[in-house]
Amino acid sequence: MTASHTERITAVQDDITTQRVDAIVNAANTSLMGGGGVDGAIHRAAGPGLLAECRTLGGCPTGEARITKGYDLPATWVIHTAGPIWHGGTHGENELLARCYRSCFALAARHAVRTIAFPAISTGIYGFPLERATRIAVTETTRFLADDTEIEEVRFVCFGMETYRVYQAIVTGSA
């Protein structure tokens, strides 16, 4: 029997590049050519094969996602998504961020992914307010899992204490 969708959502404070899951998500940019933050960390840990494959993809519009192999990472797959840059909240940022999560889940489903780890997309360099972004991440995940029986774990990997605190509160429903 499949665990209820809330039991399948976890939050940890860790580095996403070390996660032993079927797929990790990369908070990339529309070029898919690497960058700073979690994108830089993933490319460094995966090795040059990742960038070589990314070069063949022709970029990724904001809100969409693309999948590559994981190369030297413990994860089999990397799902790259381009989150929205925060421009004050009146430029469709909420919907674009929600679309990132939906696009990632759609690709995960097509590749028989059972365990998937997400970073806090758009909340670093792109400046999306953390609590607002976390609510969107958890809402979209809960919606997806309500109709899905294949995914066993959606792990939110938080890079700092503050991010972890916010995710933990929202995932457990105490905020």
Stretch in the footprint of ligand AR6 (CB under 6 A) among 15-23, 100-108, 147-155, 164-172: 15-23
Cβ proximity to ligand AR6: between 55 and 112 the closer is 55
The stretch among 58-66, 90-98, 104-112, 124-132 that binds ligand AR6 (CB under 6 A) is 124-132
- Catalytic residue list contains 39: yes
> Does 22 participate in binding ligand AR6 (rule CB under 6 A)?
no
Q: Is 64 an interacting residue with respect to ligand AR6 (CB under 6 A)?
A: no
Where is 146: in which H helix or E strand?
helix 130-146
Q: Are 78 and 38 in contact (CB under 8 A)?
A: no
Query: Judged by CB under 6 A, does residue 59 bind ligand AR6?
Result: no
Determine if 103 is a binding residue for ligand AR6 (CB under 6 A).
no
Query: Residue 15 burial (CB < 10 Å; 0-12/13-18/19+)?
Result: middle
Alpha-carbon distance of 65 to 110, in angstroms, equals 12
Among 62, 103, 115, 123, binds ligand AR6 (CB under 6 A): 123
DSSP E strand boundaries for 22-152: 23-28, 65-69, 77-82, 115-118
The residue annotated as part of the active site, out of 14, 39, 72, 148, is 39
Q: Are 62 and 84 in contact (CB under 8 A)?
A: yes
